[in-house]
């Protein structure tokens, strides 16, 4: 099952498939960006040409999510994992107790809890662990300590394939959201959050950089131990240019944001994502061969997870899928089964090809 240029349909959870149109655009101007005679990766990060890239990327992001003026948009080093430490460094000192509340909904929220522990008292106020993370746990708001500096959630859970459909309210306690595996995949009201952050490598660009959206009144409360590159106030003051950033990553993100705007914005992206996910879930819901792994009410539109009747069938499925040009479908190591990651860059044709393969495989092995 070929694609132009010999490209595959890549269902990797991240780094993930990015839009072909963006890849081609980047390729076309890689050696001579904007007619200046040099590549975007060769010019100074403080040059007017690159500063213009950062400014446009920020402006496009703000426009796409209708971001209020009292929020800052930052590009920071590292992925979401680095923010697991940066978040408590910047926010846990908001209140004297140095306490934070976390909801555990999967692998990465669990890692965020562990990484935050050195900086204060971390309370796990809800956890889906007893249910093997097949659903988002009920959150009793009374369990959130009144002296908590923030409440942290992971909005979409890459490994298990669940997501928050309704975000929690925590009164005057800021809600911090790791949106790495679904950023700009659906319409969200950013004013409900104190901080929204995400790595780039699933929906926005190459890995190694993260985007942080923070309400400005939360800046300036970093712990004394916080390094300048992790201090959001310092990054905001330096306009994401405290030192040399990954210029290519920010440039690529700008191109993705341009692409999204051209398509019609986040609302149109959400419609497409719902359409792709529904194709897969329709197969799973009408099959006695494939077994969905998560509660129907908490299904992700980014990461669709399911299993097959036996290990032998799973092995054959993955092997044959690869031959058909459908790659990286193996489930997360702690979960098993199949995981189809269908981020913004996955075209409808890729999901249609997977659906067709699933139906044929069930006929021959069911």
Domain boundaries, the chain: 25-263, 265-365
Band the pLDDT of 250: cuts 50, 70, 90: very high
DSSP secondary structure, 240-282, as one string: T-SS---HHHHHHHHHHHHHHHHHT-HHHHHHHHHHHHHHHHH
Looking at residues 225-254, what average pLDDT do you find? 97
- CA-based nearest residue to 354, from 271, 290, 288: 290
Band the pLDDT of 121: cuts 50, 70, 90: very high
Q: Which residues of 157-195 are buried (b: 16+ CB within 10 A; e: fewer)?
A: bbbbbbbbeeebebeebbbbbbbbbbbbbbebebeebbb
Chosen CATH of 25-263 out of 2.40.10.10, 3.10.310.10, 3.40.640.10, 3.40.50.300: 3.40.640.10
Q: Is the pLDDT of residue 4 over 90?
A: no
Query: pTM here?
Result: 0.96
Q: Is the pLDDT of residue 5 over 80?
A: no
- 3-state DSSP call for residue 156? strand
Q: Is the pLDDT of residue 26 over 70?
A: yes
User: What mean pLDDT value characterizes the chain?
Assistant: 97
Per-residue model confidence (pLDDT) at position 186: 98
Percent of the chain with pLDDT over 90: 97
Residues 300-342 have pLDDT tens digits of 999 999 999 999 999 999 999 999 999 999 999 989 999 999 9
Percent of the chain with pLDDT over 70: 99
Band the pLDDT of 1: cuts 50, 70, 90: low
Contact between 168 and 192 under an 8 Å Cβ cutoff? The reply is no
d(CA 55, CA 141): 38
d(CA 190, CA 71): 9
Residues 342-354 have pLDDT tens digits of 999 999 999 999 9
CATH level 3 topology of 265-365: 3.90.1150
- Cα three-residue angle 184-297-155, rounded to 5 degrees: 35
Q: Is the pLDDT of residue 54 over 80?
A: yes
Helices 247-263 and 266-285 pack at an angle, to 10 degrees, of 80
Helix (H) or strand (E) holding 305: strand 303-307
Per-residue model confidence (pLDDT) at position 208: 95
Band the pLDDT of 366: cuts 50, 70, 90: confident
- CA-based nearest residue to 314, from 335, 300, 298: 335
Per-residue model confidence (pLDDT) at position 145: 96
């Amino acid at each position: 099952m070929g694609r132009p240029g010999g490209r595959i349909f890549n269902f990797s959870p991240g780094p993930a498939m990015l839009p072909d149109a963006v890849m081609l655009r980047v390729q076309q101007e890689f050696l001579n960006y904007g007619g200046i005679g040099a590549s975007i990766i060769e010019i100074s990060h403080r040059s007017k040409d690159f500063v213009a890239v950062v400014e446009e990327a920020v402006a496009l992001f703000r426009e796409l999510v209708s971001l209020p003026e009292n929020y800052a948009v930052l590009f920071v080093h590292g992925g979401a994992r680095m923010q697991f430490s940066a978040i408590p460094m910047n926010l846990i000192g908001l209140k004297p107790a140095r306490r934070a509340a976390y909801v555990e909904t999967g692998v990465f929220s669990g890692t965020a809890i562990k990484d935050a522990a050195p900086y204060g008292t971390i309370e796990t106020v809800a956890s889906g662990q007893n249910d093997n993370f097949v659903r988002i746990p009920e959150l009793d708001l009374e369990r959130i300590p009144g002296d908590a500096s923030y409440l942290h959630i992971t909005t979409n859970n890459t490994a298990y394939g669940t997501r928050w459909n309704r975000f929690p309210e925590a009164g005057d306690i800021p809600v911090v959201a790791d949106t790495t595996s679904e950023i700009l995949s659906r319409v969200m009201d950013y004013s409900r959050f104190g901080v929204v952050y995400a790595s780039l490598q699933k929906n926005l660009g190459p890995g190694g950089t993260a985007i942080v959206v923070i309400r400005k009144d939360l800046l300036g409360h970093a712990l004394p131990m916080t390094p300048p590159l992790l201090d959001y106030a310092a990054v905001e003051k330096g306009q994401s240019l405290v030192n040399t950033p990954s210029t290519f990553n920010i440039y690529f993100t700008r191109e993705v944001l341009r692409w999204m705007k051209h398509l019609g914005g986040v609302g149109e992206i959400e419609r497409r994502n719902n359409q792709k996910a529904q194709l897969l879930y329709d197969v799973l819901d009408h099959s006695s061969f494939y077994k969905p792994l998560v509660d129907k009410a908490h299904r992700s539109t980014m990461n669709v997870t399911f299993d097959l009747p036996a290990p032998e069938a799973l092995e054959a499925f993955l092997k044959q899928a690869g031959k058909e040009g459908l790659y990286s479908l193996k489930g997360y190591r702690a979960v098993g089964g199949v995981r189809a990651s269908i981020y913004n860059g996955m075209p409808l044709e890729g999901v249609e090809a997977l659906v067709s393969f699933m139906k044929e495989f069930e006929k021959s092995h069911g």
